[in-house]
Amino acid sequence: MRDRKVERILIKKDVIINGSLKAQAFDISEGGMYIYTQAEFNSGDLLKLDFDVDGVPIKAKARVQHTQLGVGIGVKFSGLSHEESIRIKRLLERLQHVSPVEVSGKKKVLLIDNDVRSKSVYKMRLLRDDFTVFEASNYLEAVKLLQESKPDIVVLDLWQEGMDGLNILQLMQINPDLKIIPVLILSTRNVPTDVEKAMALGAKDYLLKMTTTPIKLSEKIRAISGGS
């Protein structure tokens, strides 16, 4: 889905899969959407989706491109009519101009992860649970947001393409203002040495993506940060 003309936009939208399974989309683009569901699907599965855009029903076929057990599936649309494509494009254009409003008093979460799909799902859950969420996809963005947003908690993918999360933890440990910010590791890797290094550098917990649903992450953040 790298060729999409419009970037993915976070959105909360009910979706019916294959005529009966109720689910919820967490982001949408001209080319597809990411759907939160704990039902199991395989990459390549062809699905029938029913949802609406501005009250107008859309019936789309979609092929599963990405799966993450317990989190959701990324799908690519196929067979949309010209009118349906135009409706989705106009929705995206409208949503692009809606700026999120930061509400005073909300706990601030910084997500440091370059996995766009899973990050979008986790972010949507946290927004629904009344957190303010900031995102970083690389080392420079992370450092900038740590300094500017002053988050109440950081959720860090330890090993990412082009970035070693341990460097972030080391930076926070030597900076008195950042050292006090709790860090949760959210990783795809389950390696004992990784856990030991992260905990030695001050991480509060080490969570695995494959077993951490958005709800579970939200509950863990609330427990550590004290909620909003």
Question: Can you give the residue ranges of every domain in the chain?
Answer: 9-96, 108-225
Q: In this predicted model, what pLDDT tens digit does every residue of 181-194 receive, in sequence order?
A: 999 999 888 888 98
Average pLDDT over every residue of 83-111: 76
Residues 11-33 have a mean pLDDT of 87
Question: How far is residue 106's CA from residue 127's CA, in Å, rounded to a whole number?
Answer: 10
CB atoms within 10 A of CB 167: 13
DSSP 211: G
CATH number of 9-96: 2.40.10.220
pLDDT of residue 4: 39
* Level-2 CATH architecture, domain 108-225: 3-Layer(aba) Sandwich (3.40)
Mean per-residue pLDDT, 164-168: 81
Which of 34, 25, 53, 5 has its CA nearest to residue 115? Answer: 34
Task: Give the pLDDT confidence score for residue 217 in this predicted structure.
Answer: 94
Tally of helices (H runs) and strands (E runs) in the chain: 7, 13
pLDDT of residue 120: 85
Tell me the per-residue pLDDT of 48-90, one tens digit each, with 9 for 90 and over: 999 998 888 999 999 998 886 656 788 999 888 899 999 999 8
Q: Looking at residue 101, what DSSP letter applies?
A: P
Q: Please name which of 154, 163, 161 lies closest in space to residue 185, comparing C-alpha atoms.
A: 154
How many C-beta neighbours within 10 Å does residue 56 have? 9
Structure letter (DSSP) for residue 162 = T
The pTM of the whole model exceeds 0.85: no
SS3 157: coil
Query: Strands of 108-112's sheet, edge to edge?
Result: 132-136, 108-112, 153-156, 183-187, 205-208
Give the count of beta carbons closer than 10 Å to the beta carbon of residue 163: 22
Percent of the chain with pLDDT over 90: 37
Per-residue pLDDT, 2: 38
Q: Look at the alpha carbons of 67, 72, 76, 78 in this order and tell me if their dihedral is positive or negative.
A: positive
pLDDT at 100: 44
Per the CB < 8 A criterion, the answer to whether 29 and 6 are in contact is yes
Euclidean distance between CA atoms 120 and 194, whole angstroms:
25
Residue 202 confidence (pLDDT): 92
Q: Using 50, 70 and 90 to split pLDDT, how confident is the model at 171?
A: confident
Check whether 226 has a pLDDT greater than 80.
Answer: no
Res 122: pLDDT: 92
Residue 6 structure tokens: 């419009």
d(CA 228, CA 225) in angstroms, rounded, equals: 8
Per-residue tokens: 1: 């889905």
Tokens of 8: 């993915």
